[in-house]
Every structure is written in C-alpha cells, then in structure tokens.
Structure 1
C-alpha cells in the first residue's frame, strides 16, 4: 500500500537529527516547497513535530527548522501498556475490537424498540456512531451493496501513529456493535475491514462488504 505523503514527511524529519527546513523536505520528497510546508503545518497541528525559528543571518525570511516532537513520558507509558494487549498485531486488533464494541455501547443513544423487519441504511448507522465517538467522516461511497467510509482517526490519532492495528480494531468493534444494535437483519450481514488511508487527508478507510459474498469468494 502506498505510503502517505504526510507519513513520508514525518519519517524524513525523524531521520534528521539536526532538523530540516521546508526546502530540504521538498527536495527529499521531490515536491514543491509549498506542498512540503502544507504537510509540515499539518504535522505541527497534530503535535508530531516542532518548529524552531533561527535568527536570520541576512535579508530574507528567517529559516525554520522542523524536528520530531519529543514523546512525553506518559505517551511512552501508554504505548507500552497498549503493547500488553497481545503479542502480535492480530491479537492486539482482536482485543481492541472488543474494547471498541464496549466503547460504542457505552455511548449508544437510546432508541425505540427495533423493528425486526426494517433494514436501516448501514452507512447512516455507522456514520452516526463514529461521529458520536469523535471521528470525522469525510466521504462515503456505496456500490453494488458494498460501502466505503473514509474518516479521520481524530480520537485515536496518537495511538494510530504507533499502533495502527489498535485503531483498526477499535473502529471495527464499534461498527460491528452499531450494525448489530441497529437491526437483527444487519447483525452479521457485513464483513467489516479497517485499513490506513492510502492517500489524502484522512487516516482510516472502513469497508463494509456483504458477508455472504465474502464467504463465497
């Protein structure tokens, strides 16, 4: 899967012990300096990097160096605790899915009795649930019974950076619970897959595919 430009910028800055300016990042990525500044500013907003403005040695704009932000001790502890969820990425994702289900259930809105014959729109159900948990849905695409939902991993951003499988599991569990709670007909009807966004500004891509079709492929 292609690496996102922002992740490449993050990696380039992390490798430079003395910091890099926007022109150096642009040269390393072979992009325009404006594009490099765009990604650097986004990383600054996320808290992934820090900027240091140097005293100008002459006429012109002061040079700004970018470095990886030092990890707070509490963040490192969180990372170590999360690793205890399982010895492999698959185990950590499975454990996180159970936590995601519990998280969605704790924030579920009270509803009237579910009509067992009705089939609510799965995308509407998923979008409402993820929004209530702090995610930002940016795009939905449906075709031939399958649905693709792009979202920013806002509440899990710091976790997703180092343990993406945990973010994937949490979202998968929350979505599976939302579909199950919405209608008996939706329960188990979709295979839920969460993966990193291959490009653009979003962090995660959620795919809902017919479980029956997936089982026969």
Structure 2
C-alpha cells in the first residue's frame, strides 16, 4: 500500500464526508466504497481511520465506519470552539501581526464584498475560510490554524447553505472588513468583540442550516 494511494483515498473520501455524500448515520461498506473509488480496500480503510480521527466519520468497534450525524448541537459546539480560537487569534494578530500583510488582508476582504455577487458558492466559502485561516496564521500559532481548519471542514456543509442567502453573505463579508480593520489598527479587543459577534451570528443560523441540509441530503438520496 503506497502513501500516494492512501492520500488519494483520503482526499476523495474527505470531500464526500464534508459534503455528506452519505446519509447521516449510514454505514460505509468498505467494499462498496473501494469499488466506487476504483481502489483496493487497504488504502480506503486507512483513509477512513484518518477521517474518523478528525471527526469527519464515526467508527463503532465491531461494526465499522459510519457517516457522522448532522446535528445542531455539534455545529453550535464547533462555533464555540471557533470563537475561543479566533478571538485569541485576532488579539495576537493585532499585537504582533505583519502590518503589510494585515493591510493586504483588509483590502482583500473589501474587494470580496464588491465581487461577491459574481462568485459561485464554492468560491465564496473558500475565500471565507481563507480569511479566517490567514488571521490565525498571522497570529503565529500553527496549532490554532490546524484546529480551525478541522472545525471549518466539519461545519462547511451548513456554512455553504447559509451563504447561499445573499443578505447573509453580504453581512458576513462586511463583518470581515470591520474585523480586519480593527486588527490592522492594533485594536485587539475590538477585533475580538467583532469576531465573537460575527461567529455568534453564524451559530444562530445553525438550526436553519441543519434543517435545510438534512432536507437536501434525503431529497438527493431519493432522486
């Protein structure tokens, strides 16, 4: 079993897990998944173990791997984790972040507001996550970046649904500009307050996003 085959299996299965290609609670049959991916079982099993360790699949001893549940409580908990991480990140970035990089980040956030209407949802979510990841990177803590990336992957399905609402998208992207501006000015406390309000607003939409998401998953399964 080569490392490249495991990575290919991991990348493919990760996209499927993040996007709920399987129904919540559905058991993943290794043979079926292997045939779908055109790969042997060994790299698929290794990829499944890795995804389970990241919270993107569930493993039950003696029963196998299952698609994770899509629950409001988990999404809200992940937003709470993000709040802790990102409030700390913007405070640190305001103290020690590179001034030019922070200025560039603010300019990029402002340009995204202007361009948002012409972008598809996949591009919007990628740019949204890139903004938060860059703030964490500028704070200088690689572990925060790693944990943030995992949390973002686990809420991405719901985030995509919520960002399909134009008013919600505009509000979120406008928040980014205000947060970046506060960090660039060196006002870490204002930036943290803005970040917590921004994430709190997103968390408040979790229930609607989960309900819409479940409806889409099961409609897709029937189609």
Q: TM-score, normalised by structure 2?
A: 0.39
Structure 1 or 2: larger strand share? 1
Q: Point out which structure has higher relative CO (alpha carbons under 8 A, 6+ apart).
A: 2
Q: Which has the higher helix share?
A: 2
